[in-house]
A and B are shown apart, each in its own frame.
Chain A
Amino acid sequence: MSIVVEHVSKRFGSFVAVDDVSLEIPGGTLVALLGPSGSGKTTLLRIIAGLEIADAGRVCHEHEDITHYPARDRRVGFVFQHYALFRHMTIEENIGYGLRVRGVSKKVRAARVDELLRLSRLEGLGKRYPAQLSGGQRQRVALARALAAEPRVLLLDEPFGALDAKVRQELRQWLRRLHEDIQVTSVFVTHDQEEAFEVADHVVVMNAGRIEQIGKPAEVFEHPANAFVMDFLGNVNVFQGRVERGRAVLPGLEVSYPEYPHAESRDAAVYVRPHELEIERRKTSESSIAARVLHVSPTGSRAKIELQAIESDQLINVELSLERHAELQLACGDEVHVSPRRVRVFMPSYQI
């Protein structure tokens, strides 16, 4: 069941939460709405669920216009950020609630609840109350409850936001596998790009009520559409410079930029991810920045080096593989040369 959102807008007072958003979510996929807080991702999700009424625009399931359907008739499973489990009902009653209000018989209900308890690895907890479960277990109950009535669409609002790192990791993988099993069209909201990339088939990057980019995780990461997406998707070094005649010129650095062949010089920002920078003891290429090592932290699988450009005093973050780090033997105060393997140039869009 695909979801189509057409020109949807929503404002709260003078604040524009969702600004003329159009989006198509193919049936059976798992899509992440990714963006900083206040970007409108949760509002968009609630509009799809019918928990919020759009000021303008349409929402369709497949070809059925559901814009004016109340939430309870949309056959949507919604997982709330803080789970919103019914605190006075047992886990079984929680999971079976969607069936109960639809008048499903007790026997059928019990069978379906058992199946979902098994699916969400909650066997034996059916008689407990939500307050007696851990955060991860509550999250799985919320998901099981949303799935019980076989929704056409599953919507999750920051599903792992309130959990600690280890549980979050487990639940991500579980959600991914669950989705492969049941193949229901799913949309989840997150501000964590790592989470979005790990779980989703497609990522929708939102900012200030608008969609900045839609694509497969690798696509979005490798080819960010603009400076915001580049900046939002993880750590990045930004160098201010100028572009002219197919080249981008920074202090101490010049890279080719064939997208801008014009003679007129313009301001531009050059974005380089920490792992796309190389450190050399000696100046080996024309295009490198002299910098001093400020701090070295070999954490986890990569070494993080913090440097300061000698000429411009700009701070530069570099990530090296542990092998390369062992080879270089960097220490604080060393003077080295930093060169980018890959850069992305973005010109401020308002000038066009």
Chain B
Amino acid sequence: MSADHLRRARQDPAWVRWTLIAFVLAVVLVLIVIPVLLVFVGAFAEGVGVYWEKLVADPDTRHAIGLTLTVVPIALAANVVFGIAAAWAVTRFHFPGRTVLIALIDLPFSVSPVVAGLMFVLIFGLQGHLGPTLREDGYAVMPWLVSIACTLLFAVGHRLLLRGAERPWLRHSILLVGCAGVFAATLFLQLALELWPSGKSLSVIFATPGIVLATSFVTVPFVARELIPVMNAVGAEEELAAISLGANGWQMFWHVTVPNIKWGLLYGVISCNARAIGEFGAVYVVSGHIAGETDTMPLRIEKLFQEYDMTGSFAVASLLTLVAIVTLLAKAQLERHIERKP
């Protein structure tokens, strides 16, 4: 009797096990496996030749694929830079509002993409806060932005690369004078060369910049969320060790930080990539879905579907599904790597 109890405590009876397994398998089959297979069935319904033609011959579809391939890398790059910066700030510094920041980074996950799109329309749209300014002289802000970016780069480079502890006041004055100089020089150069057109409107909404913004917003948490636990687990000691051994910030980052977080970073990038390619809601709102101009792949699929071009719609859909399957395989491979090398 007691032996029987012990066995039960460790393991559920056979009928529970098998019912549960069968239930889960059935759900996965009906909701996931069959639909995915049907995508390919639909895509190849009229043969490989038609499939190929639908993808390549239609200029709007071609443009949509091209636009997605333009937007996604930009959004990915922004994400990697922001993700590393955010993870670094959160795990290496202690400042008031740290936990609030972590929560805010997660916000795009809980906001509906449509709302995210609407927010950008409210800011950059014609009736939005920045709308009128952007329409009258949209590029006026660009020289300032570029100059600020150059100055920041100079400051970071100065911090990372310049040695010479003997005269700290000299380093500080080089930093101050250098920053002012770089800012003034880049600003003057841009204005003098008239690099940016004046009096022209810069469209963000219903144009590529808006699609990039919306895609970046929706995918912001991916890399940061993946990196924060990794960087917490690795700790700052190795980085401090590198510094105490004489490495500068740049060397420390590339020799110690990057190798320690590379698998986590890659995992985040792959997840982010899959989400960015498939983003529909936010992009739908900001792009105005103009065929041949602002349609990305998911928008194109929807449009073909509305136009009763089932084969065309499924053909593009099969590309996205393929990306998803490759992502899945890559992640599985990466997880094995991460487990083996903690």
Contacts and interface: CB of A to CB of B under 8 A. Distances in A.
B243 A71 contact: yes
B260 A87 contact: yes
B124 to A, nearest CB: 42
- The majority secondary structure among interface residues of chain A is loop
B248 A84 contact: no
B241 A84 contact: yes
Contacts of B168: 68-69
Interface in B130-187: 163-165, 168
B237 interface: yes
A88 B259 contact: yes
A72 B245 CA distance: 6
Interface string A73-103: 1111110101011111000000001100110
A145 B251 CA distance: 17
A102 B244 CA distance: 12
A72 B247 contact: yes
B238 interface: yes
B246 A98 contact: yes
A66 interface: yes
Contact of B245 (A68, A82, A87, A97): A97
B244 A101 contact: no
Contact of B237 (A66, A70, A80, A145): A80
A72 B162 CA distance: 12
A68 B255 CA distance: 25
B293 to A, nearest CB: 46
A206 interface: no
A30 interface: no
A116 to B, nearest CB: 13
A343 B164 CA distance: 56
A145 B245 CA distance: 8
A51 interface: yes
Interface string B272-283: 000000000000
A102 B163 CA distance: 11
Contact of B243 (A72, A88, A149): A72
A101 B237 contact: no
Contacts of A75: 246
Contacts, number: 75
B241 A101 contact: no
A50 interface: yes
Contacts of A66: 165
B246 A102 contact: yes
A15 to B, nearest CB: 13
Given A66-B165, A87-B260, A72 B237 contact: no
A49 interface: yes
B298 to A, nearest CB: 39
Contacts of A102: 246
A101 B165 contact: no
B242 A50 contact: no
Contacts of B248: 72, 101
B240 A80 contact: yes
A76 B244 contact: yes
A86 B238 contact: yes
A88 B165 contact: no
Contacts of B341: 88
A50 B251 CA distance: 18
A205 B244 CA distance: 26
B327 to A, nearest CB: 26
B256 interface: yes
Contact of A49 (B238, B244, B256): B244
Interface string A55-73: 0000000000010111111
Nearest to B262: A88
Given A71-B244, A97-B255, A145-B245, A84 B260 contact: no
A198 to B, nearest CB: 26
Nearest to A103: B246
A86 B241 contact: yes
Interface in B202-238: 237-238
9 contacts: A66-B165, A69-B165, A71-B240, A72-B163, A72-B245, A86-B241, A87-B238, A101-B247, A101-B251
Interface of B: 163-165, 168, 237-238, 240-248, 251, 255-256, 259-260, 341
Interface of A: 49-51, 66, 68-78, 80, 82, 84-88, 97-98, 101-102, 145-146, 149
Q: 4 smallest A-B Cβ distances: which pairs?
A: A73-B165, A84-B237, A98-B245, A69-B165
